[in-house]
A and B are shown apart, each in its own frame.
Chain A
Amino acid sequence: MKKILLVLLSISSSISCSSDDNNDQISQVLVPDNYSFQRAGNNTVSFLGQTTRLNMAVELKDALGDPSKTETELNAMYLSGTGFSSDELNNSGKNLGGKTASYGGSTTAKQYFTDWIIEVTGVVFPAWNMDASEGIPGLYTDEGGSGRSVRINGKGLEIDQAFTKGLIGALAADQIINGYLSSAKLDSGTNIEDNNNNVLVEDKPYTTMEHFWDEGFGYLYGKEVDITSPTLETGDVLLNYYLNSLNKNESYTGIAKVIYDAFVHGRAAIVAKNYTVRDAQAKLIKVNLSKVIGDKAAHYLRAGVSSFEAGNKADAFHFLSEAYGFILSLQFTQKEDGNPYLSNSEVTEKLESLMAGNGFWDRTNVELIAMADEIDAATGLVTK
């Protein structure tokens, strides 16, 4: 019964496309309604390692805001993948550090994260309840507005925020955009030949190429309960969460569907052994996922400005810390032309200028707006 349906589907899709000669290749790819793929009745989709890492990121984010944690404990979580709440994570053999800044941008970006662990435990935690001021780490609370309290270093940086927003680019986006969805990865070794001949990974129901694509998928949807119908409300703290946020912004309505459909379509193309279609879908994913980072980097700089204007410094420090992490992430994006919105050196220059002098305490609204405008110019997005 199912087979008949599939045949009917493929006939109808070729009929509907027959008027458009350019779509010949696409008509050969049988695209299912959602991300579910089988071989001989067995599910071929698997990305456990990605789910594990996304869960680690959730706990690490909390730990970076817990003054009882030591440098050794945070390093164990980040670099060794141990010290989490469950054996499932601790015994997984996975970690976040080994997947940070692996492909795009520069591997030197990883040092931001290791330095932040030293700084948050050595500088911010000891001053947890002391009053922060220019150059002095500690606690800062807004009188009005949200009444927000932030724990900041001497330059006004909330390290847990910068760290997590930095991981969105350096881990989640980098692994998808510059890692698993690159032809360098997908076509490595004998992947094409194996995929063409249905040569499966030993004891697994999938080919290596199929699995790589799924692992890319997993960095975005790894915490979804049902991947055939993603909610983007998963408790994720990385790309999944911010894709949801962008999707609700009317300038980007539908972006989540575009990305999901492209993941489905590209995976179907691998099954159909059509690598041209696969790469076109990969590009669609890369370009659209990059917008999440491009938009948020500039958006949070502007949110910092509005908060300064409203007299809410703690809010401003919070938003600027998010902006800082998203700017770090910009080097891991990819535009239509295959280049990132900003190179590693351009990113580094921006991060250094944000931290000049006493950092956020010294930044003027003019400087911050200029930087947001520069980012918009690089991304082609409008965040004003």
Chain B
Amino acid sequence: MMGNRKKLIVMFYSMLFAALILSCEDNGEDIEATSFDREAMLTHWADNIIIPLHNQFSTSLSSLKSTTATFVATPNSDNLSQVRLKWIAAYKAWQYIEMYNVGKAEEIYFFSKMNIYPSNTERITLNISSTVYDLENANNNAARGFPALDYMLYGIDTTDDLILQKYIGDVKYGTYLTDLVDAMVLNTETVVNDWNGSYRATFISSTENNASSSINKLINDFIYYYEKGFRSNKIGIPAGVFSGAALPKNAEGYYSRIYSKELVLEAYKGIETFFTGKLNGTTIMQGLSLSDYTDHMEGNLEEKLSTTILAQFERAKTKINELDSNLVSQVESDNSKMLLAFDELQKAVVLLKVDMLQAISINVDYVDADGD
């Protein structure tokens, strides 16, 4: 959990915020909001950001599937390298879409099936040896997805040769690898097909500001992701912010090691993409992003909140850039740098969760889990 003092501060602000919301419920909101074209913003999000990102991910997963088939049929060092390359490419593409927990993604618990780490390697070993497993059982959430692939491709033995020997000597490994990738492809198809099908229209037409509307849910997903999936899971938990000691084994990409920082930076690009509404830094469709919406709802101010937020993103990124590309060794050698990065990420959480939500009149729809 969050440091208690920080939690207290956040709680205080949340209460303050709740009080403000209550006190100004009757005025302002509709007048301000109607002059902003929410449907155009939702359309922009769907057509220019979310759907292209999902399609990109789907494509990268397809190529992981085909290289996996080649590797399982012929387990050699070249083919292993290929699978690893396609794995990290798909993992990076995943970082852009993990936050979009709406529609089918929410319905099938897409995120929980794709990126729960650390992996439960004992469960994976049991599954492989027993050959009888139901990957859809939530007990297997920590035995599937990208982290399980990380273990299967880098962690099942100590050297590349020994890892290869596992696949050569026992087909059960190849079978499990194939099953993992197939399940990822299947779940992704479910989500992507829905976006490309009927869900897009549903999403765009939900322009109200209430707990179940698209804007409300997606912005909450975005902040929840920033706080939990990004700040806590990728930096805070391995750095031991919520525990007594640091937990390097809880880093994302623990077994491959070398990609752990790259994944964080990639995820940050995904966060900025959504906030600024600019896919790959392009400037198409200006005026329809979350940052524009915040500017609009905030009214004319000298210092725009969106500018403050982006500046804070930059400060946090600077701290992340100072980390070793291998976060496991960063935690083990000098964890204070991880903690400094966490501090900057936390400042952005307060800006998003308190200041921004207040400006755009949206309530937080999730609660911080109570401690043990």
Interface residues of A (CB under 8 A from B): 58, 128-129, 131, 139-144, 146-147, 149, 161, 232-233, 235, 237, 241, 244-245, 248, 303, 322
Residues on B with C-beta less than 8 A from A147 are: 109, 112, 116, 138, 141
Contacts beyond the supplied A143-B141, A233-B3: 20 A-B pairs with Cβ under 8 Å? A129-B120, A129-B122, A129-B123, A129-B139, A131-B137, A141-B138, A141-B139, A141-B141, A142-B138, A143-B109, A143-B112, A147-B112, A147-B141, A149-B142, A232-B4, A233-B5, A241-B371, A245-B371, A248-B8, A303-B370
Closest-CB distance, B217 to chain A (whole angstroms): 14
State the CA gap A233–B4 with chains docked (Å). Answer: 7
Residues on A with C-beta less than 8 A from B244 are: 58, 235
Residues on B with C-beta less than 8 A from A143 are: 109, 112, 138, 141
Q: Is the CB of B369 within 8 A of A146?
A: yes
15 contacts between A and B (CB under 8 A): A129-B122, A129-B123, A129-B126, A131-B139, A141-B137, A141-B141, A143-B112, A144-B112, A147-B109, A147-B116, A233-B4, A233-B5, A244-B4, A248-B8, A248-B11
Closest-CB distance, B225 to chain A (whole angstroms): 14
Interface residue? B26 (CB, 8 A): no
Interface residue? B302 (CB, 8 A): no
**Contact residues of B between 99 and 127, Cβ < 8 Å to A:** 109, 112, 116, 120, 122-123, 126
**Contact residues of B between 137 and 179, Cβ < 8 Å to A:** 137-139, 141-142
Q: Which residue of B lies closest to A128 (CB)?
A: B122
| Residues A149 and B139 in contact in the complex (CB < 8 Å), given A129-B122, A129-B126, A144-B109 | yes
Interface residue? B303 (CB, 8 A): no
Interface residues of B (CB under 8 A from A): 3-5, 8, 11, 109, 112, 116, 120, 122-123, 126, 137-139, 141-142, 244, 369-372
> Number of A-B pairs whose CB atoms are under 8 Å?
47
Closest-CB distance, A312 to chain B (whole angstroms): 10
Closest-CB distance, A361 to chain B (whole angstroms): 16
State the CA gap A141–B370 with chains docked (Å). Answer: 18
Closest-CB distance, B98 to chain A (whole angstroms): 13
State the CA gap A244–B370 with chains docked (Å). Answer: 12
Residues on A with C-beta less than 8 A from B116 are: 147
Q: Which residue of A lies closest to B106 (CB)?
A: A144
| Residues A161 and B372 in contact in the complex (CB < 8 Å), given A141-B141, A233-B4, A244-B4 | yes
Closest-CB distance, B293 to chain A (whole angstroms): 28
Closest-CB distance, B266 to chain A (whole angstroms): 23
Residues on B with C-beta less than 8 A from A142 are: 138
State the CA gap A340–B146 with chains docked (Å). Answer: 52
Q: Which residue of B lies closest to A131 (CB)?
A: B139
State the CA gap A31–B79 with chains docked (Å). Answer: 77
Residues on B with C-beta less than 8 A from A146 are: 369
Closest-CB distance, B96 to chain A (whole angstroms): 21
Residues on A with C-beta less than 8 A from B138 are: 141-143, 147
Q: Is the CB of B11 within 8 A of A139?
A: no
Closest-CB distance, A18 to chain B (whole angstroms): 40
Residues on A with C-beta less than 8 A from B123 are: 129, 139
The 9 A-B pairs of least Cβ separation, nearest first, read A141-B138, A143-B138, A129-B123, A233-B4, A141-B139, A143-B109, A139-B139, A129-B122, A147-B112
State the CA gap A54–B313 with chains docked (Å). Answer: 40
State the CA gap A325–B148 with chains docked (Å). Answer: 35
Q: Which residue of B lies closest to A147 (CB)?
A: B112
Residues on A with C-beta less than 8 A from B137 are: 131, 141
State the CA gap A282–B18 with chains docked (Å). Answer: 39
State the CA gap A244–B126 with chains docked (Å). Answer: 41
Q: Which residue of B lies closest to A250 (CB)?
A: B15
Q: Which residue of B lies closest to A141 (CB)?
A: B138
Q: Is the CB of A140 within 8 A of B139?
A: yes
Q: Which residue of B lies closest to A160 (CB)?
A: B372
Residue in A128, A147, A161, A248 with the greatest tally of chain B CB atoms within 10 Å: A147
Closest-CB distance, A205 to chain B (whole angstroms): 33
Closest-CB distance, B91 to chain A (whole angstroms): 19
State the CA gap A141–B109 with chains docked (Å). Answer: 13
Closest-CB distance, A329 to chain B (whole angstroms): 16
State the CA gap A147–B101 with chains docked (Å). Answer: 14
State the CA gap A232–B8 with chains docked (Å). Answer: 13
State the CA gap A143–B112 with chains docked (Å). Answer: 7
State the CA gap A142–B5 with chains docked (Å). Answer: 29
Closest-CB distance, A88 to chain B (whole angstroms): 16
Closest-CB distance, B41 to chain A (whole angstroms): 28
Residues on B with C-beta less than 8 A from A128 are: 122
State the CA gap A146–B372 with chains docked (Å). Answer: 13
Residues on A with C-beta less than 8 A from B112 are: 143-144, 147
Closest-CB distance, A132 to chain B (whole angstroms): 8
Q: Which residue of A lies closest to B136 (CB)?
A: A143
State the CA gap A146–B369 with chains docked (Å). Answer: 8
Residues on B with C-beta less than 8 A from A233 are: 3-5
State the CA gap A248–B1 with chains docked (Å). Answer: 15
State the CA gap A58–B372 with chains docked (Å). Answer: 12
State the CA gap A237–B244 with chains docked (Å). Answer: 11
Closest-CB distance, A45 to chain B (whole angstroms): 25
Closest-CB distance, B3 to chain A (whole angstroms): 8
Closest-CB distance, B99 to chain A (whole angstroms): 16
Closest-CB distance, B236 to chain A (whole angstroms): 16
Q: Which residue of B lies closest to A138 (CB)?
A: B139
Residues on B with C-beta less than 8 A from A141 are: 137-139, 141-142
Residues on A with C-beta less than 8 A from B142 are: 141, 149
State the CA gap A140–B371 with chains docked (Å). Answer: 19
Residues on B with C-beta less than 8 A from A144 are: 109, 112
State the CA gap A161–B120 with chains docked (Å). Answer: 21
State the CA gap A128–B139 with chains docked (Å). Answer: 11
Q: Which residue of B lies closest to A59 (CB)?
A: B244
Q: Which residue of B lies closest to A244 (CB)?
A: B4
State the CA gap A381–B112 with chains docked (Å). Answer: 38
Closest-CB distance, A336 to chain B (whole angstroms): 29
State the CA gap A296–B7 with chains docked (Å). Answer: 20
Residues on A with C-beta less than 8 A from B126 are: 129
Residues on B with C-beta less than 8 A from A248 are: 8, 11
Closest-CB distance, A4 to chain B (whole angstroms): 38
Closest-CB distance, B137 to chain A (whole angstroms): 7
Residues on A with C-beta less than 8 A from B141 are: 141, 143, 147
State the CA gap A248–B371 with chains docked (Å). Answer: 13
State the CA gap A308–B141 with chains docked (Å). Answer: 20
Residues on B with C-beta less than 8 A from A149 are: 139, 142
State the CA gap A370–B372 with chains docked (Å). Answer: 24
Closest-CB distance, A9 to chain B (whole angstroms): 32
Closest-CB distance, A250 to chain B (whole angstroms): 9
Residues on A with C-beta less than 8 A from B371 are: 241, 245
Closest-CB distance, A340 to chain B (whole angstroms): 25
